[in-house]
Structures are given as C-alpha cells and as structure tokens.
Amino acid sequence: MTFGTVHGYFETYGAASSDVTVELRDRHRRHSPALLNADVRRRTRGRIAAIFSRVMPVHQLPPGKYLLRAIVSVNNRSVKTLTRGFEIAPSEGADDRRRRPGARRPATLELFLPVDEQG
C-alpha cells in the first residue's frame, strides 16, 4: 500500500451485537507494542446487527510489513482477535539513487469504504 490510511471493517450479527466493543491496533511485528491504537464506534444496523468501521492514518509509518488487529470484546471481556496483514511500500523517491531528475512524489490519497447508517 502507498495510500495514507488503512480501513478496518467487519460486521456482527446476533442478539449480543449491542454488547460488542472493538479496539484496533497496528503492529510492526507480531509481539511488538501497538503503534496505533483506536476504539471503534459501533453502528447499529437493525435489531441484531452492528457494523464496526474505522479508518486509521498510516502515512507516518515507515515502509515494512504490519499487522492490523481487531480485539473484539463482549461486556468488557475479550472473546476474539482478528488479524490481517498489510504492507507499506517505500515511496518512489525514498532512495536518492533511484530518483529521476524532475520526478515528483505521488500525492497522498485517502481511500475508504463509506458506511451508511441506515443499512
């Protein structure tokens, strides 16, 4: 990825959906401390469904491989951890030896999936 954000998104279904909370963490390595940490706001969808969606900026992270972890809790007790990897690619102009004269750095583009509250 070379964009400036990563988007964590998933849905829950069932009567206990209203008791679910989610926290997103971004790690450089599996056992390293979190670099980014954010609570995710629940958006109710009907009586038994909820959407959890959060866009997190990553433009300050150095190039490399990362893990985005969603820690799912019910009534303040962790019940599941979802993990997905992503990679920050080096920018085109990061290495002066490869830089072409007059080359411009690509603009940062914010990309995310909108979530409709009405579902």
Looking at the structure, give the CATH architecture of the domain made up of residues 5-88: Sandwich (2.60)
pLDDT digits (tens, 9 = 90+) for 42-88: 898 888 899 999 888 877 788 888 888 889 999 989 999 988 888 88
Say which amino acid occupies 2: T
CA R_g for the chain: 17
CB-side exposure of 2: number of CA atoms within 13 Å?
A: 10
pLDDT at 108 over 50: no
pLDDT at 105 over 50: no
13-17, 82-86, 93-97: which range is least confident on average? Answer: 93-97
Q: Are 23 and 72 in contact (CB under 8 A)?
A: no
Mean of pLDDT over the chain: 76
pTM: 0.64
Tokens linked to 104: 């411009």
Q: Select from 90, 112, 108 the least CA-distant residue to 8.
A: 112
